Structure 1
């Protein structure tokens, strides 16, 4: 119960919603699954245990221990069977550290031998998503000074507190309500931790650094959220109803910087497809950061003036399109956008 309470604090801050089925949920299904695999001739006796031999791997998958007890492999096979047969899952994604790669590879290969999963990459399918370690600045696993592993909830709270302090230092405490400051600190602080993790290739270890992830320059959530808020500010300052502009306006990309931005926006769909196919959220992060940089180049160019130019309508549409795609990226990354800063 204590663990569940602590986990809930993290999920609440991250905006994660779970449909919980703990390990014990699958216990009643284990005997039937093992019996079915045995009838198929997949389960063999080995040194008092019951195992499944996997081609190309020199250790067997133990499904019943020598003392007759079940183990993680037993549970994982039962869970996989349940998800495929009862929940009719099309794609099951297991997210654990890279050290469990071989275990799940063996489970999936056993499932293919049993005919639960098709050969190749057809549906239904199961994938393992491994991830690397979070390191401290000493290059070792991230811990506190007394060598305890840092709790994620404490990291998130620290990130929010630092974000809140930065907002107040910028003078927002006098301009905004306490609620506005708090919600913005939530979005920036929690978004900073998420983005710092997701922008790296998931298999790569990375060094945790608060100052770097809360920097308002470079490839950080703060920079990207600020860029989005600035676009929203441009649209507001125009005094135009953006919905009316979208209904009646026409997009014309004459300047090179406009065309560069338009081309990058058109790449969004294929970027999402690549990220989903390869299960690499950093692909979305790279795209989002590049989008912000390309927009900044467009907006900073005096030849691409938005408000008050004879091409205001078209350029407002380009600003809105950029903001919409940025929000789509934030949504995919689990980051809450902010609309003013």
Structure 2
């Protein structure tokens, strides 16, 4: 029986040898101070270059966009140089890599902001926590997010320009494309949902108002990278972080039509990665196919059998795997040959050294 997972696929300007994508995963290994990508990160991504495409960990577009300790940025010269190490290593290993552009919005902490206030569409706390660590010891824990302040209309224009600069930096660093992070309760997602967006100006109220920020970000980033090298990630059915908006799926479908007009390369759905997340309805998947003619990537607890099934059903074009790639840098080979998958050490997921990061060997290689 032929495997759909191992058929080639074209995603915008990128030709992938198969449909196994590495999903974005925060690992908090950047060099401090400065949130700078480093040689250890380059080794980590290069080890996983056999993925059809790598989507990097979420990367803050500006200091304001930061919400977690030790996550990398793409807004300084040092960060661009660090990411260049990564892209060079991945390309030398024969891979393709896109950068996930991230502004956390209200999912942040006062310690990251001079005035102590994260920014958001509206001054509504998310009722959630973020991970904050001591920069000296690396020891940290989860802390409550404060009530943010609402962005002014003028500030929204500046944030959109921050996305432009980040895309320019990603291009300079040698990335094959970018993915706009519009999922999981971060800034763009906050604009999309009536639970977190109570604005009465042109960026709120109606569905058209709530999708406006996302559309303008997508247009701006596409002008830099090319729409055929730009994707976007959504999580339509999450309910945590104050995102429980029954209108969200319909809002995202309306937005998908605008992204289709712009010509984005792909939409990436973050599915049941949350305890309270329902199954993504088949009706939504069909409606997304109708609204958007580009590639659809799905992620969220998929194994090989589920991945094969959704590809053969025609409701996705590629499947992104996260946790399986942590301890299995050669995941495509293991799937192809039916090899045993290794488990990962949960204590080493965030922060730390090479242990539990670059220390997992390929199959048959001694650790």
Common fold by TM > 0.5 = no
More strand by share: 2
Between 1 and 2, higher relative CO (CA 8 Å, sep ≥ 6) is seen in 2
Q: Larger Rg: 1 or 2? A: 1
Q: Please report the TM-score for the alignment, with normalisation by the length of structure 2.
A: 0.23
More helix by share: 1
